[in-house]
A = this chain, B = another copy of it.
């Protein structure tokens, strides 16, 4: 478990062991855990890895947590809360449903790009949580995907969306194209988060809207 097995020099402390106040360490722990889960996956990550990066011993982690799973829960919980807040506040703002959809997608994408690592952990390791805790985070109604579906449905009721577009499938399509960014976005890549947000939002809106609704939007922009 430790390969440098010191011969128990009782009166010698670990050099790396900085003593920090609880709150600060807790934040650091969450950050490190997120990074390690990102790099190795939940099952592949060991508490040893995490402790090492904190300059701690594995056992000391249990001063802060009850179990490894708790740690994942905490990490994912935080990411989801934040992301959901961003999306649902964007969706709740002013404008017609298509405007709001466009703005929500942009907000979602930008947020995901700027929080790549936590987002990736959320999307990738959510399945590693046992069902009850997973649903405690998502809400049993899968609130996240509901936002997009509802926006499309509302737009459809106002005649802004083509017949034959199923709001549920459309919402999932949008969620797919936007969530996928965590797989390919690179901060040093050719596109900024804003550019990507604009592109994906435009494609989504064009994807569902009627020709008339699109023409009306053009007219407003042009004015």
Binding site for B on A (CB under 8 A): 41-44, 124, 127-128, 145, 162, 164-166, 168-170, 172-181, 183-184, 190-191, 196, 199-200, 202-204, 206-208, 211, 214-215
Per the bound structure, the CA–CA distance linking A42 and B184 in Å amounts to 22
Per the bound structure, the CA–CA distance linking A173 and B203 in Å amounts to 8
Residues of B within 8 A of A172 (CB): 177, 180-181, 184
Per the bound structure, the CA–CA distance linking A169 and B178 in Å amounts to 11
Q: Given contacts A180-B179, A204-B207, is CB(A199)–CB(B41) below 8 Å?
A: no
Residues of B within 8 A of A214 (CB): 211
Least CB distance from A205 to B in Å reads: 8
B44 touches A203 (CB 8 A): no
A181 touches B170 (CB 8 A): no
A173 touches B191 (CB 8 A): no
Least CB distance from A194 to B in Å reads: 12
Least CB distance from A146 to B in Å reads: 13
In the complex, which of the residues B164, B168, B191, B206 contacts A169, with contact meaning CB atoms closer than 8 Å? B191
B176 touches A191 (CB 8 A): no
Per the bound structure, the CA–CA distance linking A173 and B178 in Å amounts to 7
Residues of B within 8 A of A211 (CB): 211, 214-215
Residues of B within 8 A of A181 (CB): 172, 176
Residues of B within 8 A of A169 (CB): 191, 196, 199-200
Residues of B within 8 A of A128 (CB): 41, 44
> 11 A-B contacts, Cβ less than 8 Å apart?
A41-B41, A169-B191, A169-B199, A169-B200, A170-B199, A172-B177, A176-B179, A177-B180, A179-B180, A202-B207, A206-B207
Q: Given contacts A128-B44, A206-B206, A207-B206, is CB(A166)–CB(B191) below 8 Å?
A: yes
Per the bound structure, the CA–CA distance linking A177 and B18 in Å amounts to 46
Q: Given contacts A41-B43, A41-B127, A43-B41, is CB(A199)–CB(B173) below 8 Å?
A: yes
B166 touches A199 (CB 8 A): yes
Per the bound structure, the CA–CA distance linking A101 and B209 in Å amounts to 20
